Structure 1
Amino acid sequence: MSERTTWPGPGTWHRPLLLVAAVSVPFVAISLAGLALDGRELVGAPIWGKPFKFAVSIVLYAVTWSWLVACLPQRRLVRWPAAVIAAALAIEYAIIVVQVIRGRQSHFNVATPLDGVLWGIMGTSITVLWLANIVVAVFLIRREIGGRPLTWAVRSGAVISLFGIGLAFLMTRPTEEQRAARREGGFAGIIGRHSVGVTDGGPIMPVTGWSTTGGDLRVAHFVGIHALQALPLLAVLLAASAGRVRLVRGERVRTRLVLVAAAGYAALTGLTLWQALRGQPLTRPDGLTLAVAGALAALVLAAAAAVLVAARPGRPAGPARPGRPVTR
């Protein structure tokens, strides 16, 4: 049975993770300045776009984990993996910034010995980050946090987030073209890719940098990782609405809505991965993708509506048992 925990105050949040978030915040502004003042491009995108996106993502991710770790018993088995998460995030971001300053690609780049060493360190830090997340998530799943709606939001968000992080390993695999180039002596120094069906560096979406001509594995990676923010936020918003909206006043109703949303979010992550693996850009879904997306949306809306209808006050009672009156 899950243990209930008290709500942690900000002073008890995990400090190494908060420090990583605090250090990353100025880089949001620095990256924006770089986007405005530095016209260089790398792999078809503004060179400071990646530091900006990673800084924002790391702030959200580190703050969320700092709070969640504070909800757990302060044991070494929790504190140390959380510190490892903080260190891995810091190492990955530091390498991204260093490579931007050098004008070099950070991900998948083994073109020179230094590039290869930096990419090796980054790849190792991503693996360690994922393993440390698993350790902390195991403790988190066994804990009750702030009531059942938030508890299930955190549990499902942690699991989906782990899946989202794990999708990074798909990107590190060499493509057939890269394998062939290595065999034929035309290797360009890149092992791995973000895009499917096209080469990295083609037309992209603004801000996100996702491909508009082929599949992009970063879409599902991004969606999955941030389940850890989206689902708890939904639980918090439902709780805030409980005083004004009678239908979501009950904890059981809010819990069921969170579980419906979690199932829908997991399906969305899977859908974006499936779309990318078929070499299809997010902005140009085919009829099959649209049909599956429509079916999933209809299922989620129907399930949410069923939860709300069941919670409606004064709904008709079920059939009475023989010989017993219906009570209201």
Structure 2
Amino acid sequence: MLNANTANSFSKSYSYKLLITPNIANDKVSRLFISCTLFLLGTLVLFFIINAFDTRLLDGMPVWHKPIRFGLSFSLHFITLTLLSQLIADHYRTKYRFAFFAYVAAISLWVEYGYMAIQASRARRSHFNFETEFESLMYAVMGVGALFLVAVTFVLGIMIWRYADKNPSGLRIGAIMGLVLGSVLTLITAGYMSSNVSYIEHRLTNTPNIAPYLGWSRVSGDYKPAHFIATHMMQLLPLIGWWADSTKWGQRLSQKIGARTIVIIATLLLTILTAVLFTLAINDVPLFPL
């Protein structure tokens, strides 16, 4: 058994090396995740430049804001996959089970993000668009792609739980909780939002009454805030675990209640926040009312 000082020292070293001085393995899955990240960062630069000159609006926002928002979110997603997949040994990361989900997620990214860019260039919606047969088909295709983009994080969380070092670090429990619970809550919020006929037909209207850059409605309940928190639990909880392991204030608190306890409390708070935001949306209450 590790004593408290030894455990804290190990956790600090373990977390610091992964997030501050990461040693990314040179295997096919790690290279794939890095390639996706670089692709996203490159297209983001392009989209920011285009956005500076394209003055067209869609649903009250500049047409390129949606690809930019998704590009930022996808970049965080694949950076997270790149870093946290290093917690498991190479032979687990590259074996068929995880590699399959990694490659399908990458294909899903390219299809979904590419279609968003095409629709932005046409000043047309990519999501919740049933105006033509092709756009209805592509919305369904993006739904399947989104499922795989979430599935790869869920599978990685399970693999970290089963195969990563059974150390006492906050990063490890944060990675497991963030990837697994974040994936489940993302599927719940996104699934309900995409299948709610009333939301699609009546609340998603062409209106300028939205929160700038976020695209959240200010006149009716919107499921996007709950979806946002659920999705980014995948980054927030590992970061909180890293904070508990590696920073001065985090280590002081960890010595009192433990890094795992810190992560569990954060998990409960973020889950409650997601539930509150989801309840507001169900009751048609905007998060930032006019």
Query: Which category describes the TM-score, using the shorter chain as reference length?
Result: 0.7 to 0.9
Q: Which residue pairs with 1:11 in the alignment? A: 25
84-93 vs 273-282, which deviates more? 84-93
> Does residue 259 of structure 2 align to residue 237 of structure 1?
no
CA drift of 1:240 comes to: 2.4
Once the two structures are superposed, residues 19-71 of structure 1 have per-residue CA deviations (whole angstroms, 9 ceiling, x without a partner) of: 11110102222222233211111122211110110010010001101222232
Structure 1 unaligned blocks of 5 or more: 177-191, 286-328
Once the two structures are superposed, residues 65-84 of structure 1 have per-residue CA deviations (whole angstroms, 9 ceiling, x without a partner) of: 12222322232212221222
53-62 vs 115-124, which deviates more? 115-124
Change (3 A) 1:128 1:245: closer
CA drift of 1:223 comes to: 0.7
CA drift of 1:144 comes to: 4.1
Q: Which amino acid aligns with 1:80?
A: F
Change (3 A) 1:159 1:117: same
CA drift of 1:17 comes to: 1.7
Q: Which residue pairs with 2:228 in the alignment? A: 222
> Does residue 66 of structure 2 align to residue 69 of structure 1?
no
> Does residue 219 of structure 2 align to residue 169 of structure 1?
no
Aligned residues between the structures: 264
Output aligned runs, 1:80-95, within 5 Å: 80-95=100-115
Q: Which amino acid aligns with 2:141?
A: I
Q: CA RMSD in A?
A: 2.7
Structure showing greater Rg: 1
What is the DSSP-based 3-state SS (H/G/I as helix, E as strand, rest coil) of the residue aligned with 2:206? coil
Contact 2:280-2:287 within 8 A present in 1 as well? yes
From the two aligned structures, give the one with the greater helix fraction: 2
Structure 2 unaligned blocks of 5 or more: 1-9
What is the DSSP-based 3-state SS (H/G/I as helix, E as strand, rest coil) of the residue aligned with 1:77? helix
Change (3 A) 1:113 1:257: same
Aligned mate of 2:137, from 117, 125, 136: 117
TM normalised by structure 1 equals 0.72
TM normalised by structure 2 equals 0.81
Output aligned runs, 1:4-83, within 5 Å: 9-12=23-26, 14-72=30-88, 73-74=92-93, 75-83=95-103
Change (3 A) 1:260 1:36: same
Once the two structures are superposed, residues 129-158 of structure 1 have per-residue CA deviations (whole angstroms, 9 ceiling, x without a partner) of: 334443333223324456431111111111
Contact 2:98-2:152 within 8 A present in 1 as well? no
Work out the CA distance in 2 between the residues paired with 1:171 and 1:245. 36
Work out the CA distance in 2 between the residues paired with 1:246 and 1:282. 35
> Does residue 241 of structure 2 align to residue 274 of structure 1?
no
Q: Which amino acid aligns with 1:206?
A: P
